Amino acid sequence: MAAHGIRQREEGVMMLPIVEFQDVSKVFFKGATPIQALGRLNLEVREGELLAVVGPSGCGKSTLLNMTAGLMEPGTGAIRYKGQVVAGANTEVAYLTQKDNLLPWRTVEQNVRLPLEMGDHRFLPEKEKGARVARYIGMVGLAGFEHHYPKELSGGMRKRAQLARSLVYEPDTLLMDEPFGALDAQLKLMLQAELLKTWEGSGKTLILVTHDLTEAISLADRVIVMSGRPGKITAIADINLPRPRDVFQIRFQPQFGTYFEELWAALRTNMAEGEEIH
Ligand code: ADP
Ligand code: MG
């Protein structure tokens, strides 16, 4: 089945955006010194799309996700989720944060199960909870490690446990902040493939922050490039590569190179302004 975002484009159906950023800016203070993290940003995230966000370090990518999850308020402007202004924790999104936040006193299985102990998920039958936990642990390749504690796992395995924990919730929208950043190339490709397999045809909206342009183009329906601080959108590209995609092969398509050149030019301009990409 084709992904939701693709169907929309083919049929030309306009749908309400699932997330809207309207004139959003954010200033932080380092002591008395203001740091303008985000400039005025306007963006509509389409329901069912996989949107990748790339940009230099410190341009406000994590801040954008924090605000979408309702963990941080915008300085100016508003963020709407399904038409409602986000005020307080947005429980309709799952958030895979950049920082490792597995609970050290819980095993892999207990960590992955955590979202099913909260909100309406508490009322799922135990059998369903168990089946979901096992399914997502298997999907990220951690079968056999259910009873290990985070400190007994490698960095990559901890990331995979976090990934399983964000998927087990089966939310309408997923926010992922550099989920594969620290992983070796081979594992990264394997998890990207798993993520695509899970997402394609699911109808879910996924906002993926990444510093890896190849990853962004391989996976996304749309890529946005942000400038260095204060973060603003400097380029947006629709990635019209066919689905389902094979992450191992897609980079060899001629059209992939065209997207890469176009977006890399936008990123490079940002670097010239004195920020680093990593
Ligand atoms: P990115 O994820 O793109 O690397 P962030 O959103 O983490 O960028 O941060 C954007 C800028 O805002 C950075 O300069 C960062 O130091 C600053 N910043 C982020 N969160 C806070 C905070 N809670 N307090 C103070 N400064 C912050
Ligand atoms: Mg970040």
User: What digits encode the pLDDT tens for the residues 15-42?
Assistant: 679 999 999 999 999 999 999 999 999 9
Residue 167's pLDDT is: 86
Q: How far is the CA of 33 from the centre of ligand 2 (A)?
A: 21
Instruction: For ligand 1, atom 18, name the residue with the nearest CA.
Output: 28
How far apart (Å, rounded) are the C-alpha atoms in residues 232 and 43?
10
How far apart (Å, rounded) are the C-alpha atoms in residues 121 and 173?
16
Pairing outcome for strands 173-177 and 76-81: unpaired
CATH 3.40.50 assigned to domain 1-87+221-278? The reply is: yes
CA neighbor of 49 nearest in space, from 178, 216, 206: 206
Q: How far is the CA of 37 from the centre of ligand 1 (A)?
A: 6
Instruction: For ligand 1, atom 6, name the residue with the nearest CA.
Output: 60
Q: How far is the CA of 178 from the centre of ligand 2 (A)?
A: 7
- Atom of ligand 1 at shortest range from CA of 226: 3
| Whether the predicted pLDDT of 4 surpasses 60 | no
| Whether the predicted pLDDT of 121 surpasses 70 | yes
Residue 119's pLDDT is: 79
Q: How far is the CA of 147 from the centre of ligand 2 (A)?
A: 30
The residue among 182 and 253 whose pLDDT is bigger is 253
CA neighbor of 36 nearest in space, from 271, 226, 231: 231
pLDDT band at 182 (very low <50, low <70, confident <90, very high): confident
Q: Which ligand is nearest to the CA of 97?
A: 2
Instruction: For ligand 1, atom 19, name the residue with the nearest CA.
Output: 63
pLDDT band at 238 (very low <50, low <70, confident <90, very high): very high
How far apart (Å, rounded) are the C-alpha atoms in residues 63 and 42?
14
Pocket probe for ligand 1: among 30, 63, 96, the residue whose CB has the most ligand atoms within 8 Å is 63
Coil, helix or strand for 81? Answer: strand
Average pLDDT over residues 205-227: 96
Q: How far is the CA of 209 from the centre of ligand 1 (A)?
A: 14
Q: How far is the CA of 229 from the centre of ligand 1 (A)?
A: 10
Domain locations in the chain as residue ranges: 1-87+221-278
Give the pocket of ligand 1 (CB within 6 Å): 28, 35, 37, 55, 57-63, 229
Residues whose CB is under 5 A from ligand 2 (ion)?
61-62, 98
| Whether the predicted pLDDT of 14 surpasses 70 | no
Greatest extent of the chain over all pairs of C-alpha atoms, in Å: 55
pLDDT band at 232 (very low <50, low <70, confident <90, very high): very high
Q: Which ligand is nearest to the CA of 34?
A: 1
